[in-house]
Structure 1
């Protein structure tokens, strides 16, 4: 089992600390080690791979984990290279290490909560830091979304990939974005019945830039492959539609689906009820930026309304010594994350990247921007809500309470709503509700959440930090 190098003191800083062991972090760590850098790869999970390459624990004895993944050979190659570099002493891989604070020093100082329960602590030093912290799912609330059996689209995939279990037997997949097709394909391949994929967008946004589509034929092929698999299972795709209510007692039993107008407002008279015992729903991904935002790193607004880190051609952020790759720079998928992780590693090592790698990053990033624009939530989604609909689940703050804060108490931004209602002050610290709260508050332009710590930390761990 990996142990923290803090047990041996802080004598020699690493050349590079990579935070996150998903596609971008794995690619960055092994590429940097290939160039002779001494690296540490930290991840909050139990095994490398991140959310995308999540796979069953050895104890489950999965015979064919590759069948639940796209591009599994890529991960297998990265895992093999990681193992070789660990054996040679070029990479320390530290599982169950959640970095909650970055100190901007020379060298950098990283503070992490350790262990499966986060009860331990570790401090490491590194000359450079590569952020590959990925993203989390965006949820837009609706009546009934807190019922048992309602999970995120990525959560349904995680249950299947890591636990080999399904959230139900008859699962409606809904929301917006390409993750829906991938999730539905995985669920049907595992034996679930998917009566419908309910997609809020129309896909017409992709037609606005045909040159970008032509430059990324693999993306088109992937969509066709998913479509063919779903057609074989007779899964119906409902475009320009949304789940506007979930019904049930002890768990979800059915959903109401309605057609949407161009602004995502439900069209009266188009409602239809679909029986199910689970709902997998998500509206894209939100870059996870807490560590960089606290340092004041420059950000940009992505076409889907989320906020991502602004990086230069070498993946360097506006903070000297802090690099970023993958979804932190804007959600674009595993292939883009792999390319950006390698680019960052080469830049940190002082090596010039191949022209083909730069071209690949440029094409895939252009597709990512097109994808974000095509699935941007419409402003009318809030018409799904009722006054009693919970928006912040942790603090049980309703849409009515947020409306009162805006209309009667004069709140004009998400922060003021938070102070007046406690929305976003719960255990998840706004990861689930902040996009919805910001929209309901009428915030003109999104901003990256800035908080001193990126995850819950024990008071004893804070007290144990050095006085300097």
Structure 2
């Protein structure tokens, strides 16, 4: 049995390890040059941290997973490998890889045709636009944390953290650890939303001591650093000429609308903002995987998707954190390698998956965006940062053309056609189109990218090397 795992974060590492334990030949593919994903993003080998374990939760778990994979004779690791296309051939998934530096002229091309594929591609930040969010110095929470973890660089000296979700706490902690002054953390969800959402997690919280301990650790760090944490509050505008110089903060009502008369302006030279996460769906959609109502990859109890031979694990199936990703990855890798679903060796992981799925639903209810955020937009507010498309143009074009097609609106306004290919603005543009026209979008146009990453024409022309599975020849 030959298994390919795409993504080397917690879910991918766990999947690769479980597939090896079930006896499979495993190829682990990741676009970055180091294993660990965003959760275990660490300093480059050329500039290692003096005590890297102090910078990460469960660092020993990572090193155990990594070392086992690197030493295992049936595991092949391909880092710096971009999966740029995915389809099926003879009922098996086929992956097209470009291997090497993204901006390098000499990338090599490979084709993998495994017996089973595990997608552990993770997610990226969802940021809801507001006036001034396109200023230099406004970054996503994930970008702020990545710079802090991988480069020990703070995005500014005086930083405000805002958005929604528990992720704001580790972002603030990472910034403080790099020497930045975190002025405050603002959670958009109010007390009632938080209480109602988290109530759904109460039955499973006693079994999640690690998650509670992690949360308590962040809370202690907030107190030690005297960093205010405000719920029902958010940044509604950023101000400055060449970069952020100040932000306007206001109380938010239950629908996340700014409460009149509560605005105050705070001087800051950077803003880290994240309102949750959007799954990376390009490969899942190319494989033909069905999505659930929340626009995550739909999986069964064994992490199987609707596509033959394709399984999924981690944040691409729902936002539940690293522990959930580890459990889902363990189940997915085991099943992908032909392991029995009810084998005692995966019983604990399967039980953990059930708990964390309930936890993920509670997380979404407690911190999920409310529609009132749109009321803070002005006609001049940029909704697509790459192409500098303002909200007024988007709305006026939708009204004038009477379009109910996201594709048509994107082609007319250029929203989502820039370098990020709608990864940042796609979901927002969809929601604003639906609000303006009443359109009901029944597809995932923003997430559908047949060519997942940019390629040179010369790279397309190269003859790829087909890597044989066990017992086959090229």
TM over 0.5: yes
Q: Where does residue 20 of structure 1 map in the other structure?
A: 7
1:338 matched to 2:326: yes
- Change beyond 3 A, Cα 1:346–1:452: same
Deviations, residues 212-267 of structure 1 (Å, cap 9, x unaligned): 43443433332222111101111111111111111112221111001111111111
Shift in Å, 1:108: 3.1
1:138 matched to 2:136: no
Q: Give the number of the structure with larger relative contact order, counting CA–CA contacts within 8 Å between residues 6 or more apart.
A: 2
Deviations, residues 134-184 of structure 1 (Å, cap 9, x unaligned): 111111111111111111111111001111111112110101111101111
Instruction: Work out which of the residue numbers 443, 456, 464 in structure 2 matches 1:458.
Output: 456
Shift in Å, 1:31: 1.7
Q: Where does residue 88 of structure 2 map in the other structure?
A: 104
Shift in Å, 1:20: 0.8
TM-score norm. by structure 1 comes to: 0.91
Shift in Å, 1:440: 0.8
Once residues 412 and 377 of structure 1 are traced to their aligned partners in structure 2, the CA distance between those partners, rounded to angstroms, is 23
Instruction: Work out which of the residue numbers 197, 200, 213 in structure 1 matches 2:185.
Output: 197
Instruction: Work out which of the residue numbers 364, 368, 377 in structure 2 matches 1:385.
Output: 377
Instruction: Work out which of the residue numbers 157, 164, 182 in structure 2 matches 1:176.
Output: 164
Q: Where does residue 472 of structure 2 map in the other structure?
A: none
Once residues 442 and 296 of structure 2 are traced to their aligned partners in structure 1, the CA distance between those partners, rounded to angstroms, is 10
1:419 matched to 2:411: yes
1:315 matched to 2:303: yes
- Change beyond 3 A, Cα 1:445–1:208: farther
Once residues 444 and 182 of structure 1 are traced to their aligned partners in structure 2, the CA distance between those partners, rounded to angstroms, is 36
Aligned to 1:211, the other structure's residue is in SS state coil
Q: Where does residue 47 of structure 1 map in the other structure?
A: 34
Q: Equivalences for 1:291-370 in 2 at 5 Å?
A: 291-302=283-294, 307-352=295-340, 353=343, 354-370=346-362
Instruction: Work out which of the residue numbers 5, 18, 31 in structure 2 matches 1:31.
Output: 18
Does the 8 Å contact 2:70/2:77 carry over to 1? no
Unaligned runs of 5+ in 2: 465-474
Does the 8 Å contact 1:291/1:453 carry over to 2? no
1:208 matched to 2:235: no
Aligned to 2:114, the other structure's residue is in SS state strand
Once residues 464 and 101 of structure 1 are traced to their aligned partners in structure 2, the CA distance between those partners, rounded to angstroms, is 15
Q: Where does residue 135 of structure 2 map in the other structure?
A: 147
RMSD: 1.8
Shift in Å, 1:349: 2.3
Q: Which moved more, 1:202-211 or 1:333-342?
A: 202-211
Shift in Å, 1:386: 1.5
Q: Where does residue 4 of structure 1 map in the other structure?
A: none
Q: Where does residue 441 of structure 1 map in the other structure?
A: 433
Q: Where does residue 405 of structure 1 map in the other structure?
A: 397
Q: After the TM superposition, which segments of 4 or more aligned residues of structure 1 sit over 6 Å from their partners?
A: none
Equivalent pairs counted in the alignment come to: 446
Shift in Å, 1:447: 4.4
Once residues 446 and 377 of structure 1 are traced to their aligned partners in structure 2, the CA distance between those partners, rounded to angstroms, is 21
Aligned to 2:175, the other structure's residue is in SS state helix
Unaligned runs of 5+ in 1: 1-13
- Change beyond 3 A, Cα 1:80–1:245: same
Q: Where does residue 245 of structure 1 map in the other structure?
A: 237
Once residues 69 and 236 of structure 1 are traced to their aligned partners in structure 2, the CA distance between those partners, rounded to angstroms, is 23
Q: Where does residue 470 of structure 2 map in the other structure?
A: none
Once residues 103 and 381 of structure 1 are traced to their aligned partners in structure 2, the CA distance between those partners, rounded to angstroms, is 38
